[in-house]
Chain A
Amino acid sequence: MSLLEINNATLKFGGVVAVNDLSFSVEEGEVYAIVGPNGAGKSTAFNLISRFYEPFAGTFRFDGNNLLDLDADQVADLGIARTFQNIELFDHATVLQNLLVGRHRHRKTTLLEEMFFMPRVRREEERHRAAVEEVIDFLDLQPYRNKMIAGLPYGVRKVVELGRALASEPRLLLLDEPASGLSVEETQDMRWWIDDIRKQMGITVLMVEHDMGLVSGVSDRVLALADGAKLAEGTPAEVQADPAVIEAYLGAGAA
């Protein structure tokens, strides 16, 4: 059974069909990429998985759980973490605090314990810190640990957002355009990280990306979307060679 299984998902915004009868599934341990021209419905597909949007139709299953039974905040508890296309960090908090919010789903202490900062809270905090510190090491974020997000450059913010998702120790990681706006070197780093995330941490990755170099470098399978519907699916090479895909990209480029 696949880790994530989406069948016949459909969502409309007014007259716009953002996602149109879309089906795909992501296997445990793979990197699965979604590509497509602007407005193809890639982010919308992510938002459906995150339960931000209510689909008109379709089934969404993650590891045997029906996602449609859950609220948006319960999705994280299953072990699904994500980043956002336009970076949604907590701007007036430090990098450390941002990553610690990633630990939210692992919290065990109650309001009363926290008000009195009981020993258990301290122990838990140390545990969270150890986990977060590992992420900081992994992503080379030490220089920024105690800096406010509001003052950080774009590239670092993207990494922090990735770090926050990793801090939650997810099983499935959704990355919405992890390399957009990054320099060539930063994109290269991102590529190593995605590789390591899969190989060392054993986390399944579902990502949306425009940079075909990155996509063919890291992903096992690629799904091409246009106007909310599936155009092609297969290995990066297969999808890039698909006439329908070439047509869609050229069409989008010409328009």
Chain B
Amino acid sequence: MEICQKARKPGVTGQGTVLKERGEDNLEVLQLFVSGLANGCVYGLIALGFVLIYKATEAVNFAQGDFMMVGAFVSLGLTNAGYMDLPFWIAAPLTITIMAVFGYLIDLFVLRHLFGQSQTAVVILTIAMGFVLRFVAGLIWGHEPQTLESPLALGDLHIGGVVLGMADVAIIVVTFLMTWFLYQFFQRTKLGLAMQAASQNQMAAYFMGIPVKRVQGLIWGLSGATAAVAGILFASKGAIDPNAGLLGIKAFAAAVIGGFGSLPGALAGGLIVGVIEPFAARYLAAGYSQIAPYALLLAVLVFRPHGLFSQVRVKKV
């Protein structure tokens, strides 16, 4: 069967944070921890996208990683000298807007027609969407890894013996802000509450006068915007290519570990996966280190099937 190209294993992403060998053990641990934190934030941001859509529509967007990849390429296409050469601070908001619209349109033209079909259909559809996005991105931007010419990528921050890439700091700060913002949005605003209601019982929400379909569109827009932020940050940190979205698999692990319905859980899950990776790579034998995040995922599914941070109740009949 020739249809399959080999799935590229998404490795530990970016090397913004430089490891110094001469440091003492403590420092090294700290360094590993911080670099893991930054990677974890990227997973967390993608996971946020999953959770957003899951919370509001009970669908899972398996193409969220590819959304991030597209966001990264859009920002790169707007910013880099070889392409449109816009100033970064104009390009970034523009990217977020474009991706929000993109998310909305995907819902409008594709997902809305699936309204009421099974979860499996949505799962498969979004996987297919990922294939298509990867293909199209390859056609437009090519398959060579490229880096975003981002002001975030410049310079390191020295705190004690620990060297932090500016990009890492930016990622960590922005991710926490995003999570806080989205959390507030769902807990406090009328729209946010309506979105939750829409997922829990579509028919009831519909009769209660919540415009279920429009709400669903807005959510997809929001998750597109989240993907754009993730993409910009990711591309500031390291090179991207059309397969960068496969990183989404780890973000899944993150979302599941956090409990699929919880935004702070998604972030926490992302951080856990992100931090485990560099430590596993450092302290475990070669073959075992890649396994660590997935083994953790399976362990969580076996022992806490609904994630570490969510409580379970029974379906009402």
Contact = CB atoms under 8 A, between A and B. Distances in A.
Interface of A: 13, 43, 47, 52-53, 84-86, 88
Contacts of B314: 52-53
Interface in B270-317: 313-314, 317
Nearest to A86: B317
A85 B316 CA distance: 11
Nearest to B315: A52
A224 to B, nearest CB: 22
Contacts of A13: 313
10 contacts: A13-B313, A43-B317, A47-B317, A52-B314, A52-B317, A53-B314, A84-B317, A85-B317, A86-B317, A88-B317
A85 B317 CA distance: 7
Given A47-B317, A52-B314, A52-B317, 7 more contacts: A13-B313, A43-B317, A53-B314, A84-B317, A85-B317, A86-B317, A88-B317
B279 to A, nearest CB: 40
Nearest to A92: B118
Contacts of B317: 43, 47, 52, 84-86, 88
Nearest to B118: A92
A206 B314 CA distance: 24
B122 to A, nearest CB: 17
Interface of B: 313-314, 317
A47 B313 CA distance: 14
Q: From DSSP, what is the main secondary structure of chain A's interface residues?
A: loop
Contacts of B313: 13
A29 B145 CA distance: 77
A43 B313 CA distance: 17
A88 B317 CA distance: 9
Contacts of A86: 317
B118 to A, nearest CB: 10
Contacts of A43: 317
Contacts of A52: 314, 317
A175 to B, nearest CB: 14
B165 to A, nearest CB: 46
Nearest to A54: B314
Nearest to A85: B317
A225 B136 CA distance: 62
A84 B316 CA distance: 11
Nearest to A84: B317
A86 B203 CA distance: 12
A162 B308 CA distance: 41
Top 6 A-B pairs, shortest CB-CB distance: A84-B317, A47-B317, A53-B314, A88-B317, A52-B317, A52-B314
A191 to B, nearest CB: 25
Nearest to B313: A13
Nearest to B203: A86
A12 to B, nearest CB: 12
A52 B317 CA distance: 9
A84 B313 CA distance: 19
A15 to B, nearest CB: 14
Nearest to A14: B313
A13 to B, nearest CB: 8
Contacts of A88: 317
B314 to A, nearest CB: 7
A53 B314 CA distance: 8
A230 B172 CA distance: 57
A186 B313 CA distance: 36
B310 to A, nearest CB: 15
